[in-house]
């Protein structure tokens, strides 16, 4: 069953994508309304202005399709400013046309934020805002010192002022919603990029296992929390011979296959790290030495039984594993060194084995 429910987010997304032609269309329609209003009151200069403006809006609408958004924005910006100034001079301050000048300030900051980058976006928006501030003060000074060119009824001033107030606040609300939407989208994009970067910074690019720095953080966290854990150091037997005999592509394939096996055998939630070269370090959270050794034996047996296809060759690789429990009297480095030494002892004793108990330690 299709979902036909109204979606505010989707609506805002569509409006945001089409805001330039929408502004152009809205501007033309509002000017047609003002043309009728000024014609009714016989304010002929503003009638002419509001007849020419929709034609201009229609003419410049092609700039959107051509991608000339800055030119389109500047046309809208200055056309609205000139209209507000001209209307205030013709009918006076009380009609509220100067409010459109104030509305342009957040509009200018929003569009400049989108069209420019870095300091230029703030510079351009501030310049435009400064021009509007000067224009507003100048119009207020002029209307205070001079009577309007046309003397219209007080009731007309009241209702026109109310209409202009509603219109300007609606436009400001419209652009502030779009601005917040833009910021939310950018924030979501940054979070997604940061998540990717954090992931890339924490894992080994070849195997997808944690890198050494990330594993160190896991170990330190467990150690500081006085959690029970054990570590296992895995080393592939005679890995150098594989690289020397078949090349590094074969070595990379073996490492990936080892990663798959380790992940299948190790319970979820236990960090696995490519410690260096063909060495893998596993942290068994909440496990003692014997429990960890059982899992490691499963890993070793699975690796021994695995046959890796490399072109026309069949590769069979074994591994040696040393297991050490974390003792509170030991530092993390000492525990890792113990696991490493047990692994080394296993190599000396014939390889392909798990060493958890060793009299030398």
Residues 171-208: b if buried by 16+ CB within 10 A, e if exposed: bbebbeebbeeeeeeeeeeeeeeeeeeeeeeebbeebe
Calculate ∠ Cα 340-344-346, nearest 5°: 115
Among the listed residues 264, 252, 346, the one whose alpha carbon sits nearest the alpha carbon of residue 302: 264
Tokens 């040393």 correspond to 322
Q: In the structure encoding, which two tokens stand for residue 168, read together?
A: 């300007």
CA 310 – CA 322 distance, rounded (Å): 28
Q: Are 250 and 315 in contact (CB under 8 A)?
A: yes
Residues near 158 by beta carbon (within 8 Å), at least 6 away in sequence: none
User: Domains of the chain, with CATH numbers?
Assistant: 8-198 (no CATH), 212-355 (3.30.70.270)
CA 90 – CA 34 distance, rounded (Å): 13
Tokens 């297991």 correspond to 323
Q: Residue-wise pLDDT tens for the chain (361 aa)?
A: 444 555 777 777 777 777 777 777 888 889 999 999 999 999 999 999 999 998 988 888 788 778 888 888 888 889 999 999 999 999 999 999 999 998 888 888 888 888 888 888 889 989 998 998 999 999 999 999 999 999 999 999 999 999 999 999 988 888 788 788 878 888 888 888 887 777 667 888 899 999 999 999 999 999 998 889 999 999 999 999 999 999 999 999 999 999 999 999 999 999 999 998 899 999 999 999 999 999 999 999 999 999 999 998 999 999 999 999 999 889 999 999 999 999 999 999 999 999 998 765 5
CA 250 – CA 233 distance, rounded (Å): 22
- For the whole model, what pTM was predicted? 0.59
């Amino acid at each position: 069953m299709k979902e036909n429910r109204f979606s505010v987010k989707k609506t805002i997304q569509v409006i945001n994508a089409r805001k330039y032609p929408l502004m152009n269309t809205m501007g033309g329609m509002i000017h047609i309304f003002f043309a009728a209003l000024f014609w009714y009151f016989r304010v002929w200069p503003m009638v002419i202005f509001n007849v020419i403006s929709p034609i201009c809006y229609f003419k410049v609408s092609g700039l959107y399709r051509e991608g000339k958004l800055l030119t389109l924005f500047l046309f809208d910006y200055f056309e609205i400013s000139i209209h507000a100034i001209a209307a205030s001079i013709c009918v006076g301050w009380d009609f509220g046309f100067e409010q459109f000048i104030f509305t342009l300030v957040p509009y200018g900051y929003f569009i400049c934020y989108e069209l420019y980058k870095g300091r230029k976006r703030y510079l351009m928006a501030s310049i435009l805002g400064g021009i509007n501030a000067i224009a507003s003060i100048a119009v207020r000074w002029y209307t205070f010192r001079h009577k309007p060119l046309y003397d219209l009824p007080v009731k007309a001033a009241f209702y026109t002022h109310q209409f202009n107030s509603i219109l300007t606040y609606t436009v400001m609300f419209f652009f502030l919603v779009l601005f917040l939407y833009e910021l939310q989208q950018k924030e979501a994009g940054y979070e997604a990029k940061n998540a990717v970067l954090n992931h890339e910074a924490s894992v080994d690019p070849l195997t997808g296992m944690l890198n050494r720095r990330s594993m160190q953080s896991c170990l330190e966290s467990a150690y500081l929390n006085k959690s029970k854990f054990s570590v296992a150091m895995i080393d592939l037997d005679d890995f150098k011979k594989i690289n020397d005999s078949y090349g590094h592509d074969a070595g990379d394939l073996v490492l990936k296959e080892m990663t798959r096996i380790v992940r299948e055998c190790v319970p979820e939630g236990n960090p696995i790290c490519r410690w260096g070269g063909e060495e893998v370090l596993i942290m068994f959270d909440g496990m003692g030495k014997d429990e960890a050794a059982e899992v490691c034996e499963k890993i070793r047996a699975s690796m021994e039984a695995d046959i890796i296809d490399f072109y026309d060759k069949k590769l069979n690789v074994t591994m040696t594993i040393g297991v050490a429990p974390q003792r509170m009297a030991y530092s993390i480095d000492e525990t890792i060194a113990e696991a490493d030494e047990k692994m080394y002892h296993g190599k000396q004793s014939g390889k392909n084995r798990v060493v958890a108990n060793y009299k030398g330690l």
